Amino acid sequence: QKEVEQDPGPLSVPEGAIVSLNCTYSNSAFQYFMWYRQYSRKGPELLMYTYSSGNKEDGRFTAQVDKSSKYISLFIRDSQPSDSATYLCAMSEAAGNKLTFGGGTRVLVKP
């Protein structure tokens, strides 16, 4: 069993819909949680960064962390075709430590 599980998709949604992504993990020591967006042949772009449990909102993005369930989520509101990419969750035990990644979910937003 992988340390971080993420559905590979693809997840196809119509433009304007809410995209819902999630990851589960097994290591209870993880404290820092990140979501990245990666376009083909590009480096990952940091979208959201949260510490411990709770919600965080930034523009169209909302990240949720439930440490009791070892479950994190990312919601993208009013999705656009430009949101079509692979989304990676990542987590670490301490700030600055190496990240453990999920396998990534490919998202396709259809106009």
Partner 1 sequence: GAVVSQHPSWVICKSGTSVKIECRSLDFQATTMFWYRQFPKQSLMLMATSNEGSKATYEQGVEKDKFLINHASLTLSTLTVTSAHPEDSSFYICSATASGGGQYFGPGTRLTVT
Chain contacts with partner 1 (rule: CB under 8 A): 32, 34, 36, 41-46, 49, 51, 88, 90, 92, 95-96, 98-99, 101-104
In the complex, the smallest distance separating the C-beta of residue 100 from partner 1, rounded to whole angstroms, is 9
CA distance 73 to 110: 22
Which residue, 44 or 76, has its beta carbon nearer to partner 1? 44
Nearest Cα to Cα of residue 6 among 25, 20, 19: 25
Q: Is the backbone peptide bond immediately before 10 cis, with ω within 30 degrees of 0?
A: yes
In the complex, the smallest distance separating the C-beta of residue 43 from partner 1, rounded to whole angstroms, is 4
In the complex, the smallest distance separating the C-beta of residue 16 from partner 1, rounded to whole angstroms, is 26
Which residue, 65 or 104, has its beta carbon nearer to partner 1? 104
Residue-level length of the chain: 111
